[in-house]
Amino acid sequence: MCSSYCYLKLESLWLKLKKVVRWTPFIQNYTKPYPWIQLAGHSGGFISGKEGTVIKKSSEKEALCLQSLMSDVLRPYVPALKGLFVENEVTHIEMQDLLHGFSSSCFVMDCKMGIRTYLEEEVCKQGKARKDLYLKMISVDPSEPTDEENNTKSCTKSRYMIWREQLSSTSSLGFRIEGVKRGMNPPDTDFKKVSSAEDIGSLFAKFINYKRTLQEKYLQRLKAIRTTLECSEFFKKHEMIGSSLLFVHDETDTASIWMIDFGKTNLLDVGVSINHNSEWILGNREDGYLIGLDNIINIWSNMLL
């Protein structure tokens, strides 16, 4: 039986993906009374699914990445892909709700990984200067725009993206904190100027309420991810841009970390290889994912609680 809201088998769907909608995943649990949590990205791209799952407007890249990851050694560290369905000609991905099993007052942190979160083609393509990006820039640093940008009250996307990365810890440490949700408090996303390892270490310590037990659990998970990445075929073959690590724990000290958000993850061309641990030069496709992960591990290791 077929309708405008029909469930389709996973293995027959990959060529049917049409819409490209880039969202940073947020998680919902349908049996607990907490609100939707979104720490970064655009809002409004999710609908309810059955218990234990969240449904997201699909990106063809992300759907293909998740399909590939289901047979990779990284599978325990990413949201499980449950299937796809079509509603009003829009394809959605149904995936594991990563907060399922945690209490309603859990703590959530999104760390955006890599020494850049923009694609190389985004830098090469100047595009039209935009007033909204200029306004975002001056809201953080009114002295940053050039005379020309002040005259036109606009700046290009490539200019804004490069400046944004240099402002945070992305360029210097290979990751940045995108957002933190502490229990039932509103999300905090005011980390644009947090750039030093010391300041980030203080934020990590506050996030876990200075509990050594949580520090040890997060470190164990981070090191397991690091070891698994070294032998992952998926990781060897993909440029990881805009992906995040999602940290979650609750008051029972249950804790875990997942790799999320693969909407800008690209399969490398045949013959192209990267080590994820080198400086990015336009054209070399390096993403610095391991630079960021190693720095995160070092910061968590050096926290004195």
pLDDT band at 12 (very low <50, low <70, confident <90, very high): very low
Q: What is the pLDDT of residue 17?
A: 32
Burial tier of 247 (Cβ tally within 10 Å: 0-12, 13-18, 19+): buried
DSSP, collapsed to helix, strand or coil, labels residue 82 as strand
- pLDDT (mean) for 48-71: 85
Q: Alpha-carbon distance 71 to 234, whole Å?
A: 9
Q: What is the pLDDT of residue 3?
A: 33
| % of the chain exceeding 70 in pLDDT | 83
What sign has the CA pseudo-torsion 227, 232, 237, 239?
negative
What sign has the CA pseudo-torsion 280, 281, 284, 285?
positive
Q: What is the pLDDT of residue 36?
A: 39
In this predicted model, which residue has the larger pLDDT, 37 or 4? 37
- pLDDT (mean) for 25-43: 40
pLDDT band at 14 (very low <50, low <70, confident <90, very high): very low
Beta bridge partners of 108: 181, 248
Q: What is the pLDDT of residue 228?
A: 98
Order of strands, sheet of 244-249, starting from the edge strand that comes earlier in the sequence = 175-182, 107-113, 244-249, 255-260
Examine the pLDDT at 31 and tell me if it is beyond 70: no
Examine the pLDDT at 185 and tell me if it is beyond 70: yes
- Name the average pLDDT for the chain: 84
Q: What is the pLDDT of residue 270?
A: 93
pTM higher than 0.85: no
Beta bridge partners of 273: none
Is residue 137 within 8 Å of 145, Cβ to Cβ? yes
DSSP, collapsed to helix, strand or coil, labels residue 229 as helix
Q: What is the pLDDT of residue 48?
A: 64
pLDDT band at 232 (very low <50, low <70, confident <90, very high): very high
DSSP secondary structure string, 171-183?
HHHSEEEEEEEET
pLDDT band at 33 (very low <50, low <70, confident <90, very high): very low
pLDDT band at 111 (very low <50, low <70, confident <90, very high): very high
